[in-house]
Amino acid sequence: MSVSSPPDVNFWFDKRCARAFWSQCELPPYRELLAHTTDWMAPTRGERWLDLGCGSGQLTRALWDHSEGQVASVVAVDCAAANDDAIALLRKSLTPQPSPERVSFQQVDFSHGLPAFADGTFDGIVSGLSIQYAQHYNDAEGRWTTQAYDGILAEARRVLRPGGRFVFSVNVPDPGWLRVAFHGIPGFFRTTKPLKFFRNSMRMLRYGSWLKQEAARGRFHYLPADTIRAKLVAAGFERIEHRVSYARQAFLFRAYRPG
C-alpha cells in the first residue's frame, strides 16, 4: 500500500486506514494510554459523554465498563464511516447491552467543529490521539494553519456543561512510531490472529509515515505540552494537567470548563 498523496487527500476517511488502527488496542503502549485515560475520565452514573475521534470505540467501551453501564449515554463520533460498524459490534459486546440511543455513532469531521451538538450537552469529552488531526488550509495565505485545532478546543468547551471535563491525548512532537512498534512486540505473541496483527501493524507504520510527513508541512499538529496548555487556556479551560503515556510518545491532558 502506498500512502503518497496530493495535499487534499485525507486517509482518515479511508476504511482501510480506519480498520488498520482497530487492532492498535492490542499494543501494550496503547493499553497503557487507555488505562491512564480511563483513570482520568472517571465516568459516573447519569453522565453524558462524547468520544471524539472514536476509532474502534475502545474509549467508549471504557466509559461503559467503568461506570458499570450507568452512564446516561455515549456519542461516538469519527470522520470515517467504517467506524459505525465497529461501534455496532462494540454495542453488542457490552454488559449490560445498551440501546442504540445510549451508545450511538455519528460521522463527524470535527475539523469543521461540532455544530450538531448544543451548548452544554455533555458532562465529559474524551479523545484518543485524534484532535491533532483537525486540519485547516488557508487559501488566501496558501498554507495550513492551526485554526481547526484551536477551533475544536473551543467547540469542546462550548458543548461541555459548566464544570465538565475534557480528557484527551495527542502525540508528542516528532513521535517515534518505531518506538511504539518496538514496545508493541509483546502484542504479537498475545494476539489470537498474529498474521492480521502483523499486517495491521505494518499498515499503521506506513500511515504513520504519512502523518509525520503532513505534520512537517503544517497540516497536522504534534505540539509541545506548553503550547497545548496555552491553547487550552485561550479556549477557556481551567485546572489543566497533563502526563506522558503511550511509550512516552503521547501527552494525556485533563482540563475543565469553568463553573
pLDDT digits (tens, 9 = 90+) for 79-110: 999 899 999 999 999 999 999 999 999 999 99
Strand partners, 138: 143
Residue 161, CA distances (Å) to 94, 112, 157, 203, 257 in order: 27, 21, 8, 39, 7
Kindly tell me the sign of the dihedral angle through the C-alpha atoms of 218, 149, 9, 169: positive
Dig out the grid coordinates for 204 from the structure: 499503521
Beta strands 160-171; 122-128: pairing state: parallel
Query: Is residue 14 within 8 Å of residue 194, measured between CB atoms?
Result: no
Strand partners, 105: 76
CA 119 to CA 249: how far, in whole Å? 33
CA 76 to CA 246: how far, in whole Å? 22
CA 250 to CA 170: how far, in whole Å? 5
Domains of the chain: 11-256 (3.40.50.150)
Amino acid at residue number 207: Y
Q: What is the mean pLDDT of residues 26-32?
A: 86
Query: Is residue 242 within 8 Å of residue 229, measured between CB atoms?
Result: yes
231: Cα within 13 Å, side-chain hemisphere: 21
Strand partners, 210: none
Band (4; pLDDT cuts 50, 70, 90):
very low
CA 211 to chain centre: 15
47: Cα within 13 Å, side-chain hemisphere: 24
Amino acid at residue number 130: S
Backbone angle region of 101, left / alpha / beta, with phi > 0 → left and psi within -120 to 50 → alpha: alpha
Q: Is the pLDDT of residue 182 over 60?
A: no
pTM exceeds 0.95? no
Dig out the grid coordinates for 136 from the structure: 485547516
Comparing 234 with 5, the larger pLDDT belongs to 234
Q: What is the mean pLDDT of residues 6-24?
A: 70
Q: Is the pLDDT of residue 200 over 60?
A: no
Dig out the grid coordinates for 188 from the structure: 504479537
Band (147; pLDDT cuts 50, 70, 90):
very high
